[in-house]
Structures are given as structure tokens and as C-alpha cells.
Amino acid sequence: MPNEHSSFRVPTGRPYALAELRSKHPGVDDQMLYLPDPADPTEYETVADQLWDLLLSARNLAPARSMTGCDLHPNGPVDTERPEGWGNCLLCNQHRRIGRPGVRAAAKPAKAWAMPEPPFFHATLMATRKEISDAVQDLDYRSHEDAFQHVVDLVHAAFVIARELSRPRISGCQRHPGAPIDPAADGGPRCLFCVGDERRRRLGPPTVSVRPSRPVPQVRPRPHRYYGNKPSAR
């Protein structure tokens, strides 16, 4: 008689983590749903804080993943100019660049977390909110790990959008609303980040200048000084 029992076992802690996610989600969903358009940056800041709390709960359901994907520096800085085929860890890539100073950055570096494409608007946040609601509703104890990871990516994307909308409108830039201003830019004061992107596209990626190592100084023996009576010659 064939075994009718499934070999699948619910991972330890998943029911509690899923219950925590579902208890936090309605409050965040209502907070985003009733945001006015346009809303004040302080209102988006509150939503960003709640989304970050929701993200921490969602990450407990998904497989572990770090920004760098590095075993030595899982919480280290991310290399945004990494060459093709290299990892995301800036510390490890810096050691590799020392031996290969002529390496070029990749055209489209890989992203460790799902990042929405700017510019960010209120409608973008609302569309992401709808996707989060549908994804959380479809979750079950037996859902595949990819389903939980999809929820994490959506919540992280909503957090990024809310965080960018919460920045004070300093530069007036749609892509970087809270960016500093370059007063010496062509055409008047402009967004410093956009000016840097244009300069990078015009001049290409920066080159790494490797300074040659200095030669080891030679140590000259000092003449021995005798104090008192000199030794007599025999």
C-alpha cells in the first residue's frame, strides 16, 4: 500500500513567523492606503518605519540573504562598480583590484535586494502595496521559499519608495528628492547625484591608480663608538 503521508515538514518557527507577518501587515496596509496624494514627507517617514518593521518579520520566513553575499563580510559595504563576474563585497573586490588595476566595472551590476527604478511617486507606492497584499494573501505554511522571498522583495521595494518620498524636497529632483545640490553645475544649481551620473557616462568609469611600492631603505651600519679607554692592540 503506498504511503499516503507527505514527506514535507513545515520548517520550525514558520507558523509563528507567518502569524507575526499577517498581524503586522494590515496596519501597514491601511497606513499606506489612506495616505493623501500628495502626502507630507513626515507621513511617508512613518510608513517607511512600519515597512521596515514588516521587512524584519518577512525576512524570518525567507532564506537568509545578505547585501554582499560574502561569507567573510556579510554586512560589509556593497561595491556598486563591481566588474563582471565579481562579487558584491567592496572589501574583497578592493583586494582583487590591487592585483588587477586595469579591470573595468560591469555595465549593470547585480543587486542583492530588489530595488525599484526611479523616479518614485505616490502611485508607485500604491501599486507596490497592492502587490504586497496579493502576495501575503497567497502565502501558506507549505508555500515554496521563492514565494516568501518574493514577499521580502516587495516589502523592501515599498520601503525604498516610502523612504525616498520621506526625504525633504531639497534638490527638486524626481529621482533623488533629498539629494544635495551642486551649485557649480552647468545650467545652474542641480542635483549632485544626477550631475555625477552624467559625468560618469561622459568620461567613463574611474580608473584606479596603483601607486608603486617604495623601496625598502637600506640600513647602514653605524661605526662603533668606544667610551673610556680604547682597547690596547696586542
The 8-class DSSP code of residue 181 comes to: E
Q: Of 61-75, 78-92, 156-170, 192-206, which gets the smallest average pLDDT?
A: 61-75
Distance CA(18)–CA(25), nearest Å, equals 11
What average pLDDT does range 116-120 have in this prediction? Answer: 80
- For the chain, domain boundaries: 10-65+113-166, 73-109, 169-206
- pLDDT at site 52: 93
With 0-12 / 13-18 / 19 or more C-beta atoms within 10 angstroms meaning exposed / middle / buried, residue 96 is middle
- pLDDT at site 175: 78
Residue with cell 514558520: 14
The residue ranking higher by pLDDT, 212 or 186, is: 186
pLDDT per residue as tens digits for the range 41-78:
888 999 999 999 999 899 888 777 766 777 777 777 88
The verdict on pTM exceeding 0.75 is no
CA nearest to 148, candidates 26, 74, 65: 65
- Give whole-number Cα distances, 19 to 51, 154, 156, in Å: 16, 18, 19
**Which of 54-68, 113-127, 134-148, 180-194 has the largest mean confidence?**
134-148
* Residues in the chain, overall count: 234
pLDDT per residue as tens digits for the range 72-92:
777 778 887 777 778 778 888
Three-class SS state of 72: coil
Distance CA(88)–CA(65), nearest Å, equals 12
Distance CA(90)–CA(102), nearest Å, equals 17
Residues 52 and 159 sit within 8 Å (Cβ to Cβ): yes
